[in-house]
Amino acid sequence: MSKRIIISGGGTGGHIFPAVSIANALKRIDPAIEILFVGAEGRMEMEKVPAAGYEIVGLDIQGFQRKELWKNVLLPVKILKSLWKARSVIKSFGPDVAVGVGGYASGPLLYAAGLMNVPYLIQEQNSYAGITNKKLGSNAEKICVAFEGMDQFFPADKVMVTGNPIRKESVAISGKREEGLSSFGLSPSKKTILVTGGSLGAGTLNKSMLTGLEKLISADVQLIWQTGKHYYKAVMDKIRSNPHPNIHVTEFLNRMDFAYASADVIISRAGAGTIAELCVIGKPVLLVPSPNVAEDHQTKNAAALVKNNAAILVADMEAEQKLVDTALELLNNGQKIQELGANISKLALPDADDVIAREVLKIGEERRKAKG
Question: Which residues does the annotation place in the binding site for UDP-N-acetyl-alpha-D-glucosamine?
Answer: 12-14, 126, 167, 199, 298
CB 170 within 8 A of CB 200: no
| Alpha-carbon distances, residue 309 vs 149, 278, 289 (angstroms) | 18, 14, 16
The SS3 call for residue 219 is coil
Name the binding residues. Answer: 12-14, 126, 167, 199, 298
The SS3 call for residue 203 is helix
The string of DSSP letters for 3-52 reads -EEEEE--SSHHHHHHHHHHHHHHHHH-TT-EEEEEEETTSTHHHHHHHT
Residues 6+ apart with CB under 8 A from 92: none
Residue 176 CB-half CA count within 13 A: 19
- Burial zone of 300 (CB within 10 Å; 0-12 exposed, 13-18 middle, 19+ buried): middle
Sheet of 192-196: strand order equals 247-250, 222-226, 192-196, 265-268, 285-287, 312-313
CB 160 within 8 A of CB 142: yes
CB 221 within 8 A of CB 245: no
Residues 6+ apart with CB under 8 A from 67: none
The SS3 call for residue 74 is coil
